[in-house]
Structure 1
Amino acid sequence: MRLAKNSHPFMYNYKPLSENFVNALGIMYRRYYSSYPRKKNLRENRLNVTRFNNVVSQLPPRFNAEDLCGVLYFQDDPYVCLELFNYASQQPRFRHEVPSYYMVIKKLGRAKLYDEMDGIVKQVFAIPTIGSVALFNMMICFYVKGRKLTRAVNVFRHMRKSAVLGCRPSIRTYNLLFGSLLSKGSNTYINRMYMETVRCLFKQMVDDGIEPDIFSLNTMIKGYIDSLHVNDALRIFHQMAVVYSCKPNSNSYDYLIHGLCCQGRTRNARELYEEMKNKGFVPSGKAYNSLVNSLAMGGEFEEAVRILWEMNEKRRLTDLITYRTLLDEICRHGNVGKAMRLLEELQNKRILDWCTYKELLYVVKDDFGNSDDR
Structure 2
Amino acid sequence: MASALQGTTSSICRSCLRLLRTPPQSRLVLIPNQRLFHMSPSWRASGEAYPNTPSALDVAATPSEKLPEGPPHIRPLFNLPSASRSFLRLSRQDLARLEQHLEDRDLPGGYAAWLEISHPKYRSGEPTSEQVTDEAIKPVVELLLEGLIEEGPQHRELPPAAEFLESLRSMALANDSQYRLLLTSMLRQGKSPELVAPVLDSAIQYYKEDHFKTGARRQTVEGEEETSDIDRDMLWSSLRWGFRLSNSPSAIASTIYLAFLHTIEVTTQHHKDLERTLFSFSQLPNAVFLGKYMAHHYFEEEMQTRLVKLAEKFEFKKLLTVPLLLHRATAQYKDGGGLKDYYDSLRTQAEDTGIPFSEENFMVFVMAFMNLTEREVAIEIWNDMARSGIFPKPRSWNMLLTEAGKLQDRDRACLQAVWKTIIASGVVPDVILWTTRIHALLMANRTKEGMKVLKDMQNSGLKPTTATINAVLDGLLKNGHMVEAKKSLLVATGMGIKSDLTTYNTMLRALLRSKKFNEAISLLQEMQAAGIDADIVTATTVLDGLYKNSPTKPDLTRVRNLLEYMEAAGVPANEVTFTTIIEGLLEASNEQAAQDIWKIMESKGLKPTPATYTTVIRYAFSKGDLLGVEKLRQQVEDNRVPKDQKLWTRLAVGYAQMGEVERLRSVMAAMEEENRVLPLSAYTLIMRGLERGKLYSDVKEIVKDVLEKDMISSDGSARGSTERMFWQTLERVAEGAVLMDLKAQGLITV
TM-score (norm 2): 0.32
The 10-residue stretch of structure 1 (317-326 or 281-290) with the greater mean CA deviation from structure 2: 317-326
Alignment partner, residue 293 of structure 1: 477
Matched, 1:346 2:535: no
**Aligned partner letter, 1:219:** M
Q: 1:106 to 1:231 in 2, by over 3 A?
A: farther
Shift of 1:268: 2.1
Alignment partner, residue 237 of structure 1: 419
Match of 1:282 among 465, 469, 473: 465
Matched, 1:111 2:291: no
CA separation in 2, counterparts of 1:341 and 1:308? 23
Alignment partner, residue 205 of structure 1: 385
Q: 1:364 to 1:264 in 2, by over 3 A?
A: same
Q: Secondary structure at the match of 2:427?
A: coil
CA separation in 2, counterparts of 1:86 and 1:311? 61
Tell me the alpha carbon deviations over residues 199-231 of structure 1, each in whole angstroms, 9 at most, x when there is no partner: 332122113332111222222223444566774
Q: 1:311 to 1:42 in 2, by over 3 A?
A: farther
CA separation in 1, counterparts of 2:277 and 2:253? 7
**Within-5 A mapping of 1:242-281:** 242-243=424-425, 245-277=426-458, 278-281=461-464
Do 1:213 and 1:246's aligned partners in 2 also have CA atoms closer than 8 Å? Answer: no
CA separation in 1, counterparts of 2:307 and 2:379? 27
Bigger radius of gyration among the two: 1
Q: 1:324 to 1:151 in 2, by over 3 A?
A: closer
Tell me the alpha carbon deviations over residues 77-108 of structure 1, each in whole angstroms, 9 at most, x when there is no partner: 2433433334788xxxxx56456898876434
Tell me the alpha carbon deviations over residues 217-264 of structure 1, each in whole angstroms, 9 at most, x when there is no partner: 222223444566774444333322421x33222322232222222211
**Aligned partner letter, 1:214:** P
Matched, 1:217 2:397: yes
Match of 1:193 among 358, 367, 373: 373
Alignment partner, residue 179 of structure 2: 55
Tell me the alpha carbon deviations over residues 20-72 of structure 1, each in whole angstroms, 9 at most, x when there is no partner: xxxxxxxxxxxxxxxxxxxxx9699x662685423346759574335446357
Alignment partner, residue 193 of structure 2: 65
CA separation in 2, counterparts of 1:57 and 1:231? 68
Alignment partner, residue 743 of structure 2: none
**RMSD between aligned residues:** 5.2
Shift of 1:365: 7.7
Do 1:240 and 1:246's aligned partners in 2 also have CA atoms closer than 8 Å? Answer: yes
Q: Secondary structure at the match of 2:440?
A: helix
Q: 1:226 to 1:343 in 2, by over 3 A?
A: same
Q: Percent identity?
A: 12
Match of 1:142 among 322, 326, 336: 322
Q: 1:225 to 1:282 in 2, by over 3 A?
A: same
CA separation in 1, counterparts of 2:385 and 2:307? 23
Do 1:254 and 1:283's aligned partners in 2 also have CA atoms closer than 8 Å? Answer: no
**Aligned partner letter, 2:447:** T
Tell me the alpha carbon deviations over residues 127-177 of structure 1, each in whole angstroms, 9 at most, x when there is no partner: 59x969xx8553234362485224997587334455558433233432455
Q: 1:227 to 1:216 in 2, by over 3 A?
A: same
Tell me the alpha carbon deviations over residues 278-314 of structure 1, each in whole angstroms, 9 at most, x when there is no partner: 4134151641332441675386466355357569952
CA separation in 2, counterparts of 1:118 and 1:43? 25
Higher relative contact order (CA 8 A, sep 6+): 2
Match of 2:345 among 149, 154, 157: 157
Unaligned runs of 5+ in 1: 1-40, 90-94, 183-189, 332-338, 368-374
CA separation in 1, counterparts of 2:424 and 2:322? 35
Do 1:137 and 1:172's aligned partners in 2 also have CA atoms closer than 8 Å? Answer: no
CA separation in 1, counterparts of 2:360 and 2:543? 49
Do 2:442 and 2:450's aligned partners in 1 also have CA atoms closer than 8 Å? Answer: yes
TM-score (norm 1): 0.57
**Aligned partner letter, 1:70:** D
Q: Secondary structure at the match of 1:193?
A: coil
CA separation in 1, counterparts of 2:326 and 2:522? 48
CA separation in 2, counterparts of 1:83 and 1:150? 31
Q: 1:63 to 1:219 in 2, by over 3 A?
A: farther
